[in-house]
Amino acid sequence: MFSDELTLMALVFMAVIAVCAGGYAVLSPFLSGEARASKRMAKVAGKSSGNRARHQSQEIALRDQRRRQVQDTLKQLEEKQRSQRKRLTLANRLEQAGLSMSVRTYWVLSALFGLVVALLLLIMGYTWQISLGAAFTASLGVPRWLLAFIRKRHQQKFLDEFANAIDVIVRALKAGLPVNDALRVIASESPAPVGPEFAELVEAQKLGVTLDQGLERMYERMPLPEVRFLGIVVAIQQRTGGNLSEALNNLSKVLRDRKKMQAKIKAMSQEAKSSAAIIGALPPAIMLLVYLTRPAYIALLWETQLGQIMLLGSALWMLTGVLVMRKMINFDF
């Protein structure tokens, strides 16, 4: 039907069209700019992912640096606390009790008290050995017990108002006042012993002492965990930054929750303490009642040698029981 030349020309024409179509399909992305656009998008995506990864690595490094700073601060504070516990002297105890007397006055008063006890026992007819032993015990034991009692009561008064003082600092900071003005308000408005303690802190700052150093000095005068918490919060905030009012607000909540927990523990352990007090008071009370009703019946305990040995053994046994009960019902918090 068709000649060979016409058939050959048709085949060549179709081959040329096929080659052109294939070339256009291959080269169209480069001619239209899609390849350049895809390369540009891949490059931008790579840059953004690289920036994001770099930003995340910087955040992680900053977080690790702040964590190391906090750990170093806590280590320094713990070392200072251990060194302060080791060098606790009688002068420190007097200062922590809120007493203004000197160590010399304390020892003079202790010696006078022991002398008075010895004279009273000699007047009552006891031998000089018993009087000397009682005077030695009274001059060393009773003043120390009284000092520990006054120190504990002084610290408890401080704790009762310390959380309120922290709240005053938080409100002052939220109102825009500096920390020094808030400390002055506490020093002038808070009752003793919180007010005098913060007054000494304010006076120390006037002399050039920093706030964290002043809080360290306050902890020496008032060695309480709550004061240590305040010093840690301020030291960390000064070294790592952050919202001080928010940190102190959280500290105030912790202090109030801690106080509630202490009251709850005391209430729950009061029954055990009452039972221990009754059990410990029964033998002396029975001895006193028997002595008042029939003195000759119980006088054998201190008039005969066997009775004295039995009385001494019973006293030691009772003392051991009382100490064991005291260890069981006292909780550290």
pLDDT at 260 over 80: yes
Residues 140-167 have a mean pLDDT of: 91
Domain extent listing, the chain: 4-83, 95-242, 266-333
- Number of residues that this document lists for the chain: 333
Contact 77, 94 (CB under 8 A): no
Distances (CA, A) of 187 to 196, 229, 244: 6, 19, 20
pLDDT at 33 over 80: no
Residues 170-175 have a mean pLDDT of: 90
From CA 114, how far away is CA 190, in angstroms rounded? Answer: 39
Mind listing the pLDDT tens digit for each residue in 182-221? 999 999 988 889 999 999 999 998 888 888 889 888 998 8
- Which of 15-24, 216-225, 262-271: highest mean pLDDT? 216-225
State residue 304's pLDDT score.
Answer: 87
Q: Would you place residue 157 in the very low, low, confident or very high pLDDT band (cuts 50, 70, 90)?
A: very high
From CA 302, how far away is CA 308, in angstroms rounded? Answer: 5
Report H helices in the chain.
4-32, 34-86, 90-96, 103-123, 128-174, 179-189, 194-206, 211-221, 225-240, 244-293, 295-298, 300-303, 305-329
Residues 97-123 have a mean pLDDT of: 90
Q: Tokens at residue 290, please?
A: 């028997």
State residue 19's pLDDT score.
Answer: 63
pLDDT at 232 over 70: yes
Residues 298-321 have a mean pLDDT of: 88
Q: Would you place residue 88 in the very low, low, confident or very high pLDDT band (cuts 50, 70, 90)?
A: confident
Q: Would you place residue 92 in the very low, low, confident or very high pLDDT band (cuts 50, 70, 90)?
A: confident
Residues 116-137 have a mean pLDDT of: 86
Per-chain mean pLDDT for the chain: 80
Q: Would you place residue 264 in the very low, low, confident or very high pLDDT band (cuts 50, 70, 90)?
A: confident
Residues 288-298 have a mean pLDDT of: 89
Mind listing the pLDDT tens digit for each residue in 272-290? 888 888 888 888 899 899 9
What 3-state class would DSSP assign to 193? coil
pLDDT at 114 over 70: yes
Poorest-confidence range of 78-92, 107-121, 221-235, 305-319? 78-92
Phi-psi region of 217 (alpha: psi -120 to 50; beta: other; left: phi over 0): alpha
pLDDT at 153 over 90: yes
